[in-house]
Amino acid sequence: MSEFCWPVRVYYEDTDSGGVVYYANYLKFMERARTEYFRSLGFEQDLLRQEQGILFTVHSLQVDFRSPARFNDALEVTASVSDARRASLTFAQSIRRRDEAPALCRGSVRIACVDATSFKPVSIPEMIRSELVNAR
């Protein structure tokens, strides 16, 4: 399974009063990596809404925090599809300092494909599914 990597720099605004990355910001970093992964495959989320009438929304997630990231750390955020279903995708994600092996946190994020108007689940278009499956 291939991993998509997205670089992130920790800014002061990302940290809490203890000088470490505030836990919710890890979720933002993961969201950016998934968005950039889609973009790297040629899928812009605003165009998917306009042209296909679909959105991808977070359905559920689990995150394990192992070690803190700090101000000015250069991070790598990974994303890879670990499961593809009719109307959902599950991404395995991790965040680590650049050039360091141990993950600072790991997550599993399930996103659902929904109709942009009704927000009801719909099948993932085949062109998207095939690109993601071939990227694995």
The residue with tokens 């694995």 is 136
* Cα→Cα distances 96→31, 54, 135, Å: 15, 32, 22
Pick the closest to residue 75 from 55, 97, 91 (CA basis). 97
Instruction: Note whether 3 and 80 are within 8 A (CB).
Output: yes
**Catalytic status, residue 14:** no
Q: Indicate which residue of 14, 16, 83, 99 is catalytic.
A: 16
Point out the residues that are catalytic.
16
